[in-house]
Amino acid sequence: DAGVIQSPRHEVTEMGQEVTLRCKPISGHDYLFWYRQTMMRGLELLIYFNNNVPIDDSGMPEDRFSAKMPNASFSTLKIQPSEPRDSAVYFCASSLNKRGLAGVLSTGELFFGEGSRLTVL
Amino acid sequence: GENVEQHPSTLSVQEGDSAVIKCTYSDSASNYFPWYKQELGKRPQLIIDIRSNVGEKKDQRIAVTLNKTAKHFSLHITETQPEDSAVYFCAASQRGRRALTFGSGTRLQVQP
């Protein structure tokens, strides 16, 4: 597998413009996560999906941010309108959660994409 | 929600020395504690993890210890090498929740 694929790798845009970041998770993984990384705030969880359904979007900063996962192989994170404070590296990650011997699901390794570096001028 | 604190923020050691990074977590329901390494300009990658039913785990030069009572866990790197230079993140996952809450990161520099 090619791993988690994100696009674009770099995006420079002007304040007020719409930005769409894309992610293709590892095939067969049932969880997809969007994280944002900045020097000041580190790695912040924005939202995550299980089997294409959003589970927790409490990390989404405000209504300007939205995320979708229309199918198991594709997700988007959209910012509209963008602002300079949105400048960051946005990581998508996926995982496959495993059932142990006792039948209990446990958290699996997160596989991160290369990230999308967003600069809003 | 979960809160993970990580110390120190920077760590410089001589090649061959040991390095220790410490994290504390707030939610006693957390049961999964991975460590990720991020090289400059690259993605975070898992290097070792531990679950709450285990107190220590070792993989070659790296080891992780967990103290559930005190709610802290640590990463130990022995015989450090220049290629160990990177930012290391600890993380915690609450029982029933698959997302990770990350610490603020430790920049480790190994001087040759």
Over residues B69-109, the pLDDT tens digits come to 999 999 999 999 999 999 999 999 987 778 899 999 999 99
* pLDDT number for residue A103: 60
| A30-49 per-position pLDDT tens digit | 999 999 999 988 999 999 99
- Helix, strand, or coil (residue A85): helix
Q: Is the pLDDT of residue A81 over 70?
A: yes
Per-residue pLDDT at A28 exceeds 70: yes
Give CA–CA dist A104/A100, Å, rounded.
5
- Interface check for A1 against chain B (CB to CB < 8 A): the answer is no
| pLDDT value of residue A97 | 80
Copy the structure tokens of residue B45.
């990658």
What burial class does residue A70 get, using C-beta atoms within 10 Å of its C-beta: 0-12 exposed, 13-18 middle, 19+ buried? exposed
Q: Which chain A residues have a beta carbon less than 8 Å from that of B93?
A: 107
**How many inter-chain contacts (A to B, CB under 8 Å) are there?**
48
| Least confident piece of the model among A62-66, B32-36, B50-54 | B50-54
Give backbone dihedrals phi and psi of A85, rounded to 5 degrees, phi first.
-70, -5
